[in-house]
């Protein structure tokens, strides 16, 4: 009997292949069943477990903000007036606290000046928060102390803190930021958007205790804020602050302000006020003292506007330098009287300014067309903001000429019935200092003024400057404004303060505005002292000495050559007659 071995072996081989395929298919089906079952088990049964639900809720990718560096504010030479320094904020994670460290937490809270109630809520676990801030932007000593206590849950977050190296000296100008590093006052507020920069963002994984334990991706890097280069010269700012503070204290004044301008560019080289404040000490900040009065406060400028009336009259030849005006101590304008402190008799145009005669100035003004006088004031910058953009900057007021009576025109000629800020007043004097060209003003450094415009001829400006030099000489109203070795031109103002129903008899503003060297002025300085209360109140006795000291320092700092060989000795009478 023959057996076909070949055919039989082929059949067995086919059967074995079918078995293996069935086994493989079964294994795949079994794996799918197991995976599906696991998924059902996790989603239906295990998700009832609260710890797993918490884990699922907290193990997630989130966006984390990255702080941007706030731009510096510097003076014209790059010396910092406001900088941001890296600091640590001390926080505590309530989920990491240990019961045995409660007393340590209380001690730390006391050291960081955290309220006892807040600390008690933290240790009792009643805050309802996971992360609680203990101290924003802590100083290095506080950070070192917190680290040395080794308290579980105490953590340190990186931030930036604003610091003002000049402190009170530049505080009214620079201003300050709040705890969120947003500008609140001054230039910090005005340029907040560009100084602040743009925060960055990253994706990070946080755990159930809100701790970042892994960075995933940087979405956007932080863009640092732009720095601000001011026109301010820190040397002059310190000098002006020191001298104004002395006068403010000596005369027990209500307030005081001083502005220094570059006569050729209109840049603000210094701007100071009293009373002051320290922007680095926010805890004791008195908001009443944060007002930048030099730029925000309006007042009647008094006799300091008389040179502009004379200049306007000379420019259009309504008067000549050689005219003489009879004063008699008073003049009648309609039914009203304009008075001088005493009878000066006949006065030349130069003596009108030297003696500061209201009567003679009124006679000059009444020869001018009302519209022309009004336009001159407006072109000098009165009645409109000085344009530096300072928050709340004053515009002042000059009434429309169509509403002027003759008496109002007369009083406007010696600075009553109008208002201006000290910055506006200083700006107006650039028209006399720069040979008839009135400048715009700037708090940012610049090489030249693109917005200057001519108002008077050079001949008129030089003529008025010569007249104003006599104000500083013997028998003038501002002998104390002189600067040894230099010719000085300027004008005083002693202004009665307006009250309800009229003017106070015992409250004054003491003013002086001047320039030097008078031959080719380099600086314009304006000083205002509000309500000096120690007996002296004339501008020539209160404001002029401050001008002299600050101007002398400015001329030395910039190496300006003297324009006179010798200054004659000054004989002081201790009194001046000027009012207005």
Tokens of 291: 């007002």
Label each residue of 262-292 as H, E or C: ECCCCEEEEEEEECCCCCCCHHHCCHHHCCC
User: How many domains in the chain?
Assistant: 2
Q: Domain span at residue 138?
A: 63-229
By C-alpha distance, which of 515, 529, 540, 368 is closest to 432? 515
390, 396, 402, 408: CA torsion to nearest 10: -170
By C-alpha distance, which of 180, 234, 217, 188 is closest to 83? 188
By C-alpha distance, which of 163, 139, 134, 44 is closest to 87? 139
pLDDT, one tens digit for every residue, the chain (580 residues): 444 444 555 555 556 667 777 777 777 877 777 777 766 665 655 545 555 555 454 556 666 677 788 999 999 999 999 999 888 899 988 888 888 888 888 888 888 988 888 888 888 888 878 888 898 888 888 999 889 888 888 888 888 889 999 999 999 999 999 988 899 999 999 999 999 988 777 666 655 545 554 455 567 777 889 999 999 999 999 999 999 999 999 999 999 999 999 999 999 999 999 999 999 987 788 888 999 999 999 999 999 999 999 999 999 999 999 999 999 999 999 999 999 989 999 999 999 999 999 999 999 999 999 999 999 999 999 999 999 989 999 999 999 999 999 999 999 999 999 999 999 999 999 999 999 999 999 999 999 999 999 999 999 999 999 999 999 998 899 999 999 999 999 999 999 998 888 899 899 999 999 999 999 999 999 999 999 999 999 999 999 999 999 999 999 999 999 987 544 443 334 445 566 6
Whether residue 303 lies in the annotated active site? yes
420 has which bridge partners? 299
563 in a domain, yes or no? no
382 in a domain, yes or no? yes
Instruction: Indicate whether 242 and 300 sit together in one domain.
Output: yes
Which domain CATH number covers 541?
Answer: 3.40.710.10
120 in a domain, yes or no? yes
398, 401, 404, 406: CA torsion to nearest 10: 110
462 in a domain, yes or no? yes
Return d(Cα 252, Cα 233) in angstroms, integer.
28
Instruction: Indicate whether 285 and 413 sit together in one domain.
Output: yes
Other Cβ atoms less than 10 A from the Cβ of 5: the count is 8
429, 434, 440, 441: CA torsion to nearest 10: -70
Instruction: Indicate whether 208 and 269 sit together in one domain.
Output: no
Return d(Cα 535, Cα 533) in angstroms, integer.
6
Q: What sign does the dihedral 171-172-178-180 (CA atoms) show?
A: negative
Other Cβ atoms less than 10 A from the Cβ of 101: the count is 18
Kind of pairing between the strands at 228-229 and 73-74: parallel
Label each residue of 439-500 as H, E or C: CCCECECCCCCCCCEECCCHHHHHHHHHHHHHHHCCCCCCHHHCECCECCEEEEEEEEEEEC
Return d(Cα 479, Cα 439) in angstroms, integer.
28
Return d(Cα 269, Cα 259) in angstroms, integer.
8
Burial class (CB in 10 A: 0-12, 13-18, 19+), 80: middle
Asked if residues 484 and 567 have their Cβ atoms less than 8 Å apart, the reply is: yes
Structural domain ending residue among the three candidates 195, 229, 263 = 229
Q: Of the listed 84, 303, 357, 362, which one is catalytic? A: 303
Tokens of 335: 């039914």
Instruction: Indicate whether 183 and 257 sit together in one domain.
Output: no
567 in a domain, yes or no? no
304 in helix, strand or coil?
A: helix
Structural domain ending residue among the three candidates 229, 255, 277 = 229
User: pTM of the entire structure?
Assistant: 0.82
Instruction: Indicate whether 281 and 139 sit together in one domain.
Output: no
């Amino acid at each position: 009997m023959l057996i076909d071995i070949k055919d039989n072996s082929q059949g067995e081989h086919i059967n074995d292949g079918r078995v293996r395929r069935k086994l493989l298919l079964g294994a795949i089906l079994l794996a799918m069943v197991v995976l599906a079952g696991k998924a059902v088990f996790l989603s239906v049964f295990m998700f009832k477990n609260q710890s797993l639900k918490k884990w699922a809720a907290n193990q997630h990718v989130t966006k984390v903000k990255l702080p941007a560096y706030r731009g510096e504010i510097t003076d014209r030479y790059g010396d910092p007036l406001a900088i941001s320094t890296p600091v640590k904020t001390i926080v505590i994670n309530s989920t990491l606290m240990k019961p045995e460290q409660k007393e340590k937490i209380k001690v730390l809270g006391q050291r960081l000046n955290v309220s006892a109630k807040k600390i008690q809520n933290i240790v009792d676990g009643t805050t309802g928060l996971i992360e609680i801030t203990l101290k924003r932007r802590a100083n290095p000593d506080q950070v070192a102390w917190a680290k040395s206590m080794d308290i579980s849950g105490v953590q340190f977050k990186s931030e930036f803190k604003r610091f003002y190296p000049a402190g009170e000296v530049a505080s009214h100008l620079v201003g300050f930021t709040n705890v969120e590093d947003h500008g609140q006052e001054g230039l910090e507020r005005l340029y907040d958007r560009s100084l602040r920069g743009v925060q960055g963002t990253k994706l990070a994984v946080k755990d159930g205790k809100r701790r970042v334990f892994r960075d995933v991706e940087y979405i956007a890097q932080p863009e640092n804020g732009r720095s601000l280069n001011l026109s301010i010269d820190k040397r002059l700012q310190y000098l002006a602050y020191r001298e104004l503070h002395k006068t403010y204290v000596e005369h027990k004044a209500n307030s005081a302000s001083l502005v220094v301008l570059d006569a050729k560019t209109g840049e603000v080289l210094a701007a100071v006020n009293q009373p002051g404040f320290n922007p680095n000490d926010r805890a004791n900040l008195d908001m009443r003292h944060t007002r930048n009065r030099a730029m925000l406060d309006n007042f009647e400028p008094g006799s300091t506007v008389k040179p502009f009336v004379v200049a306007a009259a000379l420019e259009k030849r309504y008067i000549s330098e050689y005219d003489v005006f009879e004063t008699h101590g008073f003049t009648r304008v309609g039914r009203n009287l304009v008075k001088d402190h005493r009878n000066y008799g006949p006065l030349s145009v130069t003596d009108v300014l030297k003696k500061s005669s209201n009567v003679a100035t009124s006679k000059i003004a009444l020869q001018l067309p009302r519209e022309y006088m009004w336009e001159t004031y407006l072109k000098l910058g009165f009645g409109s903001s000085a344009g530096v953009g300072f928050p709340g900057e004053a515009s002042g007021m000059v009434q429309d000429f169509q509403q002027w009576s003759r008496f109002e025109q007369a009083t406007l000629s010696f600075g009553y019935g109008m208002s201006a800020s000290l910055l506006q007043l200083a700006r107006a004097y650039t028209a006399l200092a720069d040979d008839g060209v009135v400048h715009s003003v700037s708090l940012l450094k610049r090489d030249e003024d693109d917005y200057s415009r001519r108002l008077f001829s050079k001949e008129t400006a030089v003529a008025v400057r010569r007249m104003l030099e006599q104000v500083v000489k013997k028998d003038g109203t501002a002998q104390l404004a002189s600067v040894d070795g230099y010719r000085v031109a300027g004008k005083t103002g002693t202004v009665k303060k307006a009250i309800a129903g009229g003017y106070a008899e015992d409250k004054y503003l003491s003013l002086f505005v001047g320039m030097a060297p008078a031959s080719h002025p380099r600086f314009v300085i304006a000083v205002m002292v509000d309500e000096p209360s120690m007996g002296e109140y004339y501008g020539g006795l209160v404001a002029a000495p401050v001008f002299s000291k600050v101007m002398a320092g400015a001329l030395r700092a910039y190496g300006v050559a003297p324009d006179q060989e010798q200054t004659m000795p000054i004989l002081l009478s201790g009194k001046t007659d000027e009012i207005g």
